[in-house]
Structure 1
Amino acid sequence: MPLLFAFSILTACASERINALAPNGQSVEFKLAVNEKAFGVIILPEFPTPQEVIAADMLKEGLDSMSGATFNIIPEPLYAEEFRSMPVLSVGNTKLKEASGLLVPELSAEGYALQASGNALFFTGGERRGPINAVIAFLEEDLGCRWYSRFVPAYYPYEEELTVSVVPRSYSPILEMRDVYHVEAQDPDWAIMNRISSAVDPLSLEIPSAYGGMLRYPGRQLFAHTFYRLAPAKELLSSHPEYFALINGERQFNNICLSNEEALRIVADNAIKILDADPDARLFSISQNDGSSVLCRCEDCLAFSEKENDSGLLINFVNQVAELIHRKYPDVQISTLAYLQTFMPPKTIRPDGDTLIWLATDRHVWHNKYFYITETEEFQEALESWRAIGAKIHIWDYTFGDNANWLTPIPNFKVIEENFKYLVEQGISGIFFQDNFLSIGGSRATMKDWALAKLAWDPTLEMDDLLRDFTFGYYGAAGPSIWKYNQLLHQEWESFHRSNRPNQGAVLHLDRAFINEALALIDQAKAAVINDPVLLAEVEREETCLLYARLENGVTNLADKKAYLEDMDQFRKYVEKFEIKSFAEPTLTDTTTKFTQWRIGMNLFGKENCSPSVIELQIKDVLLPKVGAATCRLTEEPLSDSGYAVYQPGMSTNWSIQWDRSAIDDYRTTETYVLQLRVKLGDLTGSGSVLMCGVWDPEVGSLLEREIDSSELSQDEFSWVTVGEVKLPASSSW
């Protein structure tokens, strides 16, 4: 596996650059090289482990790059008298380390120790990347080397006289899982050098055993929402419907009845077969499918849920499946989800001792992404309640801000930091930061990933220091302008946070004035690195996100249309250049529809005639999720004001046409609205219900539903259909 050890000296503003990772404590000095001549030597045990060899190679690459010298790696039996006057860098469990008399501190699997005695510096650690982490700590924290992102070379500060000051220390990370689930971070080289510990694919499968591997789940897409993979075979649905979950009066072939003993046995057998195919896996998820109403509602399951909560129904099932799995795989740890239906813990049932509870922050973050967890009650209550029953907790956090607009700049770094530190204080044992996992291209993505990796490794670090380290270290001469851009975004958050309260549906909107000011700073940053194509591209990545926000805002006046089209063309070029495959989670890899919607919005500008009491759900704002054969599309329609309509295939059972609260400006929760639609029939065979529509509140469910019959519609023209009256909640989808 190639490593990020390419020699590079990045330009930077020395007066602004800081080492946010510098260790505290009394240091010792080692003079290692002068004028490209090495004064030190690296030694390995006579029979080194693969990790020790890799760690020594990393150390040599770093020191060679910093000094221009060539450092030798010598097996300990060849450590001759001629080397003994030199500083010695001992990697792994050498005899020299044993003879030093230094006590070996107690370390976790990923923990490390840097110890000094005389002219020797010792690098040791636990069985999973301990020696490697020791070398990384030395290079990164003491010497200031950096592996900021997959898009730029490693940074090694060059010194003609390489005299290093190192703080002897040992450290074991507080969190066993430290995962940044973001495409930019799913690079094995970057992950190793930034000490990510990912349990999920694809990253967990790409770290070789020589590097310590990962404590991981088996295969692909088996870390959560696994019922659809573990459920009995679809062919059994007709002969044994009782094996499958009963939801809304129907048995679902990809879901499980949690009170049926034979279904339980089948699930355990399926899990064991998966582990048989991947015996190195040490984690296994038994968790409900995604969605807010996914647990069986048969008579027995419903009675159990009423007695123990939905989480009790799930935990009871998980405990029994875990017992069967452990008969063959006693070392595999079972996990499940505390999410949506299973958010609160059971009343009396307890998860087995080693069962891991993966608690999601959705109840807070989805509606309050710019507020601290400590500013709302629901998530705090859930976390405290799970802790009270002794659960081992990992957190599934959401850092993207808006999964319907991956690219929009989101000023939530301060909130992420404070929430994370609160969670660590509450005793969690792992963190999973979910961001844009579908495509490269998120706003400040590399900056966020690096900062989150550092915080996850050492929660005592400060976000502001990390951002300064990254901005001036990564962007070089563009750093001052990017720093001002960071501050501009932070000021937007401060103003919003000061003026609003949680759970009120307030939306932080980046207006045209902000975007103009931000783009001016980006222009300054580009000018500063115009002769450096690597750094110029990194600045352009953020310009791409600002252009996305600009296009989402639409034209500001008729004279703006020309510039709007030019910005759209530039955005399209950046999308191709940076291979951006997705703008939103619901629409997956569809990027073409968004361009059509922007053109529709531009053409409609100035034609809106709605009164202040009317909310117009415009086609330019519609969300068309990918839902298989039922996926809708925009189609040209001469009878439509915009020239387009949404075409919905027949027999759709999904919410395949959506508008979200965030797309609506004048939204009054105190008013009662009448929801009306303009609908035209396509090709039709038969009669009856052809469309289900309504308003959905993620907190309480459906607020308004109505089926529209074919007899109400025409194939020749659009008809107005009244769905009903509704008072709108703070957060809703249509």
Structure 2
Amino acid sequence: MKRDTPDTASILAARLAVLTAFHFFAATALAQADGGQTITLAEAGRARCQIVAAPDADGIEAYAAKTLAGYLKEMTGAEFPVVSPNEFKADRAAIFVGLSEPAMKRLESEPLAKLRDQEHVARSVGQDILLYGKGHRASLDAVMEFLENSLGWRWYSYFEKPVVPKRATLTLKPFSRNRDFDFRSRHLALRYNAEFFIQHGVNMGLETKLRKRRQAVPGYLKSWLPNENFVHTSFSYIPPTPTDKYANGFAWVEKRNYFETNPEFFSVGDSGKRVPNLQLCYSHRGLRDELTRQVRRQIQLSGPRQLIMIDAADVPGRFCHCDGCIALEERYQTPGGPLFDYLIELCNTLKREHPETRLKTLAYRRSQTQIPPRLPEGEKLPGNLIIEFAPIEDCYFADWTHPDPKIQETFQHLQDWAAITAPGNLWAWMYPNPWGTGHEVPVGNVERVITNMRLMHKAGVRGIFLDHHGVNSRSGWSELQAFLVLKLSQDIEADTDALIAEFTDHAFGPAAPQMRQYLTELEAARKAITTLPTQVGYKSRNLDDRTFPYLTPANLHRWQQVFEKMEAATAKLPVELANVRSQRRELDIATLWEWFDLSAAWPGVYTDHRKVAERVLAANKAKTPSGVVPVWTLGEPLVAHFVTLIDAGGEKPLPADFDGIARDRIRTLLPRNNARGENKRSIQDPDAAFGTAAVVDQPQMPFRCGFAEWKSRTPRNVLRGPDLELTPADITPGEYQLHRLGEFDVTTDDSLIWFGRSWQTNLQVGSQLYFPGETSHWEAWVNLKFDGKSWGGKGEDLVVCDRVILVRKTPELLRD
């Protein structure tokens, strides 16, 4: 939200030739009042002013002043001294960061009186510039507003370097601007350097990684509302077992085996027995007292001004089958009734004891807490309770204008929450990027982010968290989405068409118009999906025509031709070319998926699938302009699978045993031999399902394979699943035979099916089948061939696996 008065920045006219996309703010920055004395910041590479930083305990003003001085030096080549108020020279112009004593003398009394919390000001007074604001990190926000709207600074992505116009002489005309944020809490999943986020106004979650490492947190990185444990905290307060995934969420929790001593604190499963792997039993008086005691302990250790998250464990299904919890479900007309009733009680207690403390919980899953509680007429939730609406089950193809009944139900739930929460206490958890197969093929979902942000703001949402999956591999439109979210958090009515043009002009240079057209076509294809594919929420499991009806051979071919033109247009621009190639990866993966149809329709074009695969791998390895390395590579197991499949001319049919099973429930995958040395890792075999098979490293007698997953690498905590043991009596040498391994739940992304003594031959199933918060129950078969004297055959001993067949079972937890 902006409330601007006319401003002058004569430098911008010269800067338009350097920055390719200034039209976003040119109307504001260049429409200046005539007259007024010129303010000179630098002349011929020499600083004409000093930077005066107000003293502050958290170091925010110091960081803001240092940041400003750094960018000014990069712009002008001049060193701008940063001084304290005591060192300030009254006979020299100054840029005041924060409200120091000399800054106050240049302003009217009580300059913060008319400002809202987080509102900030950039203005000139004579030859001086004052940058200040009200509340947490407001002086830094004022500095960044000044850099952006007066000096032309931009920073589009953590994978890019900031854009800093160069100007040895830097002059401005008088100006005065106020800026605010339309979302009070701003939090993006932090994967990389905090500088990008903090300089764009993010005010929550910047210290998360340091906290997890038990490291000191600099004051300027501390959150607007400190939050010691971000999400899914219930088993961190009341750990069922010492090995539970969340048992170490709080270092100060002393007891970590509550299920052993107090099984009554935990859910009754559908079997009628207490179980440690669902939820807490929030109707139980003893559990409530113990959980409240833990919360009081947290406040005692960390102070009352904090945000405390109390929410469900990330396990789907009913909270608890005990009579007390069922009664609370009925009382509040929502499956989340037991948790909501406890939170209301706890909020009322903390309101008396610690009025500064805020509680937060997730509105998450229809089967749990997405549906708001029905309160007595006229009543609202306590004023110290924040609701974070997390519509994880919404199909990622649809925004809230889509007519699908489930999508409209979600939007109605959001509005119902708005009706019972205190102003400012409704926040939202957004899933802008698809997980699963949608992460690896083209999806146009930028407009979905814009539309939903505007609808949620209109409904009353004032906090935003971006669960930004795509940034892990620099995939899809994730960088553009982050840029737009940051700008919309400031001004929900920002001109997003202009922002998209600015971003793409910077990233893709002369290829930008074609890249925007590509995005437009993907968006149109998304909107044309009137009947949403089933079982697609924040992620999709399947790569098929039903999920991606727009990824037709004709569309893929046309888009590949467009990318050829974009690469030609940027051939002499290394950065822009690398960005085009990065954006092409999903299209290349989809092209490999449809390779047989494409090569049949255009045989002269699609002749070498390995070239397409290598293009994906090369783009994954390419250095980003900022030097930041994505934490994941995009789609490499899938690319390897497609290459194997294409090499083989296609996958052989499944055995008749699987004829009655829907194909979208079946996954067929090829293990890999990762052993070191010169041993044979795979063989070409015309009898193999994909024309190739993985050699098992160090097969033992009897032969064994199985399932395992790491709950933790350090300390080591491995959960073993079903094992398969075979002797020569179970084997027909020289032939592939299908063996049932068994059933298992994939509960971490560090899960595998292992073969042989060394486990070096394995199939990493976790990275492909695990989705956070979802039950992932599978039945597995392994297709093996044994040969050699040890196995009753001839020649050298050799064990190979050509295919693992996995069938997804009914998505329910094994309760016992």
Is 1:568 aligned to 2:577, yes or no? no
1:608 and 1:377, CA in 2 relative to 1: closer, same or farther beyond 3 A?
same
**Contact conserved, 1:529 with 1:535, CA < 8 A, in 2?**
yes
Aligned counterpart in structure 1 of residue 265 of structure 2, from 240, 243, 248: 243
Is 1:542 aligned to 2:583, yes or no? yes
Is 1:479 aligned to 2:509, yes or no? yes
The equivalent of 1:17 in structure 2 is 21
* Distance in 2 between residues matched to 1:706 and 1:532, nearest whole Å: 48
1:708 and 1:440, CA in 2 relative to 1: closer, same or farther beyond 3 A?
closer
Aligned counterpart in structure 2 of residue 488 of structure 1, from 511, 518, 539: 518
Partner SS for 1:245: coil
Deviation at 1:506, TM superposition (A): 6.8
**Contact conserved, 1:112 with 1:126, CA < 8 A, in 2?**
yes
TM-score, with structure 2 as normaliser = 0.68
User: Could you tell which deviates more after superposition, 61-70 or 643-652?
Assistant: 643-652
**Corresponding letter in the other structure for 2:370:** F
User: Could you tell which deviates more after superposition, 411-420 or 24-33?
Assistant: 24-33
Is 1:366 aligned to 2:395, yes or no? yes
Deviation at 1:107, TM superposition (A): 3.4
* Distance in 1 between residues matched to 2:236 and 2:55, nearest whole Å: 47
* Distance in 2 between residues matched to 1:13 and 1:551, nearest whole Å: 41
Deviation at 1:679, TM superposition (A): 11
Structure 1 residue runs without a partner (length 5+): 1-10, 585-589, 625-633, 657-677, 686-697, 710-717, 727-734
Deviation at 1:298, TM superposition (A): 1.2
Deviation string, structure 1 residues 239-284 (Cα, Å, up to 9, x no partner):
5432211122242214211111111222233444555665597111
* Distance in 2 between residues matched to 1:276 and 1:534, nearest whole Å: 51
Is 1:553 aligned to 2:594, yes or no? yes
Aligned counterpart in structure 2 of residue 444 of structure 1, from 469, 472, 477: 477
1:82 and 1:413, CA in 2 relative to 1: closer, same or farther beyond 3 A?
same
Which structure 2 residues correspond to residues 134-533 of structure 1 after superposition, within 5 A?
134-165=142-173, 167-181=175-189, 183=191, 186-199=192-205, 202=208, 205=211, 208-211=217-220, 213-216=222-225, 218-219=227-228, 222-234=229-241, 235-237=257-259, 240-249=262-271, 250-254=273-277, 255-273=279-297, 278-279=302-303, 282-308=306-332, 309-322=334-347, 330-340=355-365, 341-348=368-375, 351-363=381-393, 365-366=394-395, 368-369=397-398, 372=401, 376-391=407-422, 392-436=425-469, 439-473=472-506, 475=507, 478-498=508-528, 500=530, 507-527=548-568, 529-530=570-571, 533=574
Deviation at 1:134, TM superposition (A): 0.8
Partner SS for 2:382: coil
**Contact conserved, 2:443 with 2:526, CA < 8 A, in 1?**
no
**Contact conserved, 1:496 with 1:508, CA < 8 A, in 2?**
no
The equivalent of 1:102 in structure 2 is 108
1:302 and 1:47, CA in 2 relative to 1: closer, same or farther beyond 3 A?
closer
**Contact conserved, 1:114 with 1:170, CA < 8 A, in 2?**
yes
* Distance in 2 between residues matched to 1:278 and 1:26, nearest whole Å: 48
Instruction: State percent identity of aligned pairs.
Output: 19
Partner SS for 1:288: coil
Deviation at 1:154, TM superposition (A): 1.8
* Distance in 1 between residues matched to 2:589 and 2:170, nearest whole Å: 46
The equivalent of 2:716 in structure 1 is none
The equivalent of 1:628 in structure 2 is none
Partner SS for 1:252: coil
**Contact conserved, 2:400 with 2:411, CA < 8 A, in 1?**
no
Is 1:114 aligned to 2:122, yes or no? yes
Structure 2 residue runs without a partner (length 5+): 1-14, 242-256, 535-545, 624-628, 671-681, 695-703, 710-718, 722-735, 744-770, 782-801, 811-816
1:517 and 1:40, CA in 2 relative to 1: closer, same or farther beyond 3 A?
farther
* Distance in 2 between residues matched to 1:101 and 1:532, nearest whole Å: 48
**Corresponding letter in the other structure for 1:543:** R
**Contact conserved, 2:45 with 2:78, CA < 8 A, in 1?**
yes
Partner SS for 2:232: coil
Partner SS for 1:121: strand
**Contact conserved, 2:434 with 2:469, CA < 8 A, in 1?**
no
**Contact conserved, 2:470 with 2:478, CA < 8 A, in 1?**
no
* Distance in 2 between residues matched to 1:304 and 1:321, nearest whole Å: 16
* Distance in 2 between residues matched to 1:39 and 1:313, nearest whole Å: 64
**Corresponding letter in the other structure for 1:457:** Q
Deviation at 1:357, TM superposition (A): 0.6
**Corresponding letter in the other structure for 2:364:** Y
Deviation at 1:320, TM superposition (A): 3.1
* Distance in 1 between residues matched to 2:609 and 2:596, nearest whole Å: 6
* Distance in 2 between residues matched to 1:495 and 1:26, nearest whole Å: 42
Which structure 2 residues correspond to residues 652-663 of structure 1 after superposition, within 5 A?
none
**Contact conserved, 1:194 with 1:453, CA < 8 A, in 2?**
yes
Deviation at 1:188, TM superposition (A): 0.5
Deviation at 1:26, TM superposition (A): 5.0
* Distance in 2 between residues matched to 1:479 and 1:69, nearest whole Å: 30
Partner SS for 1:42: strand
Which structure 2 residues correspond to residues 576-655 of structure 1 after superposition, within 5 A?
576-577=621-622, 582=632, 592=637, 595-596=640-641, 598-600=643-645, 603-605=648-650, 617=663, 641-642=689-690, 649=706
User: Could you tell which deviates more after superposition, 437-446 or 270-279?
Assistant: 270-279
**Contact conserved, 1:142 with 1:166, CA < 8 A, in 2?**
no
1:173 and 1:351, CA in 2 relative to 1: closer, same or farther beyond 3 A?
same
1:143 and 1:480, CA in 2 relative to 1: closer, same or farther beyond 3 A?
same
Deviation at 1:19, TM superposition (A): 4.2
Deviation at 1:518, TM superposition (A): 3.7
User: Could you tell which deviates more after superposition, 41-50 or 294-303?
Assistant: 41-50
**Contact conserved, 1:179 with 1:199, CA < 8 A, in 2?**
yes
Deviation at 1:567, TM superposition (A): 1.6
Partner SS for 1:509: coil
Deviation at 1:73, TM superposition (A): 3.5
**Contact conserved, 2:644 with 2:690, CA < 8 A, in 1?**
no
* Distance in 1 between residues matched to 2:660 and 2:320, nearest whole Å: 40
* Distance in 2 between residues matched to 1:431 and 1:156, nearest whole Å: 28
1:480 and 1:272, CA in 2 relative to 1: closer, same or farther beyond 3 A?
farther
**Contact conserved, 2:61 with 2:98, CA < 8 A, in 1?**
yes
Deviation string, structure 1 residues 150-204 (Cα, Å, up to 9, x no partner):
3332211123442224641222312122122263xx4211111111122376368
